[in-house]
Homo-oligomer: A and B are copies of this chain.
Amino acid sequence: MRALFVGRFQPFHKGHLSTVKQILEKFDELIIMIGSAQYSHTEHNPFTAGERIEIIKETLLDENIPFEAIYIIPVPDTGIHPIWVAHVQSLVPSFDVVFTHNKLVEKLFTDKGIKVQHTRLLDRAHISGTEIRKKIAKQENWEQYVPPKTAELIKKKRLDLRIIELFGEQK
């Protein structure tokens, strides 16, 4: 059985890692689908798909996740909801179940007869991409909310600086 996990991973955080682990307890294979893949250099989507893919792969290897069970696949947004599921289906291998906490994503898949499941959420007030990007922008402590390898790579590639600059320009 193969599961699809949909996210933007801006950035990959401990909630995402927990979801990956929970899914792998029950499924043989997992597709991590990186949504909004074409965007970068915005407050909402600071990192390119390539940067996100590399960070996720390095982090999963660092966490000893069995990488043979994993697909990491970027999927650009279409902006058109009624064709989005077919678009996803053409870009990723076939899957049996979808995992998402986004209600619209859930609705689009269930409307096409595809099963959606949920994982237990960690502390959502703090562990969310939006909150973590804000903390990075304000130069507050954010490293605790992401896996160690993710924090290391964001700093090594100076992607924290990009977020600070992107948020700064709005003022």
Residues of A in contact with B (beta carbons under 8 Å apart): 37-42, 48-51, 53-54, 57, 61, 67-68, 71-74, 76, 78, 80-83, 85-87, 89-94, 102-104, 107-108, 111, 162, 165-166, 168-169
Residue of B nearest to A37 (CB): B91
Task: Indicate how many identical chains form the complex.
Answer: 6
Query: Which residues does chain B contribute within 8 Å of A86, judged by CB atoms?
Result: 82-83, 85-87
7 chain-A/chain-B pairs, Cβ below 8 angstroms? A48-B82, A50-B89, A54-B71, A54-B93, A67-B68, A86-B86, A107-B166
Is B41's CB under 8 angstroms from A93's CB? no
Known: A76-B76, A165-B103. A94 touches B40 (CB 8 A): no
Is A83's CB under 8 angstroms from B74's CB? no
Q: Which 8 A-B pairs have the closest CB atoms?
A: A103-B169, A82-B90, A86-B86, A54-B93, A41-B81, A48-B90, A83-B86, A50-B92
Distance A89 CA – B80 CA, assembled complex (angstroms): 13
Q: Nearest Cβ in chain B — how far from A168, in angstroms?
A: 7
Is B49's CB under 8 angstroms from A91's CB? yes
Residue of B nearest to A94 (CB): B50
Is A80's CB under 8 angstroms from B50's CB? no
Known: A48-B91, A50-B90, A93-B53. A81 touches B42 (CB 8 A): yes
Query: Which residues does chain B contribute within 8 Å of A68, judged by CB atoms?
Result: 61, 67
Distance A39 CA – B48 CA, assembled complex (angstroms): 23
